[in-house]
Amino acid sequence: MSDHYQHPYPPPELEAEYPFHPLEFDRLDPQEMLERATSFYAQMDARRSPRMFASDPVPIGLIELAIATASTAPSGAHKQPWKFVATQNPEVKRAIRQAAEEEERTNYLDNRMNEEWQEALAPLGTDHHKEFLEIAPWIVVLFEERFELRADGQKRTNYYVKESTGIAAGMFITALHNMGLATLTHTPSPMNFLSRVLGRPNNERPFILFPIGFPLPGVKVPTLARKPLDQVMVVVDRPHT
């Protein structure tokens, strides 16, 4: 047996039961790989989370494409345990803002966040004002599907729900940035009110809220440094003893 032997996938008898097809995959030449990697990194490194938005409308087609892109995320047993709930309705956005600001007032003004937490947030200058929830043209709330609820009322387990939904969230942010839209990963806390305001069933739990639109022209963002590669990457070149 050669070092490169690989047990065949799929097992031949499985193909009688489930469909398989050859993967479409174009190998790029090394030069093009490096060019694409370099320019994509520069593009993503320019992404920031604004906290003031313009009210300019965004066509639903772009929101649909961002959600379709996010939904290409890999997921545990391919269950895709997420739901992207989108609204541009002013009354819904107002209800979300009001409930979020009420919770955040308790967080910031009644010290529900402990001292360490408030210290960590100090350089970001966040507070309980969340006007962007009404001003941004779209709010998309990503829900994790804790379990699958079938139409006939049957329940089915979902797997790696947080990992899967987290990956979808990252791809959503990436898709929005790539199409020239801005978003803020907002986690009002606690955020159970989102299930009520958006009328979601109890197998879904709010995961992250995304206001989406264009940044207010001239908006400032904190001057933050990203960790250098050597602080986020470790190469292991021999077994640890």
Give residues in contact with ligand IYR (CB under 6 A). 104, 107, 121, 126, 186-189
Cβ within 8 Å of residue 181, ≥6 positions away: 58, 62, 66, 212, 213, 214
Cβ within 8 Å of residue 175, ≥6 positions away: 65, 66, 69, 70
Nearest distance, CB of residue 101 and ligand IYR, angstroms: 10
**CA–CA separation, 227 and 241 (whole Å):** 28
- Closer residue to ligand IYR in complex, CB, 70/184: 184
Nearest distance, CB of residue 144 and ligand IYR, angstroms: 18
- Closer residue to ligand IYR in complex, CB, 83/130: 130
In this structure, the chain runs to a length of 241
Work out whether the CA dihedral 64, 66, 72, 75 comes out positive or negative: negative
Nearest distance, CB of residue 201 and ligand IYR, angstroms: 24
- Closer residue to ligand IYR in complex, CB, 65/121: 121
Nearest distance, CB of residue 187 and ligand IYR, angstroms: 5
**CA–CA separation, 49 and 213 (whole Å):** 11
- Closer residue to ligand IYR in complex, CB, 57/123: 123
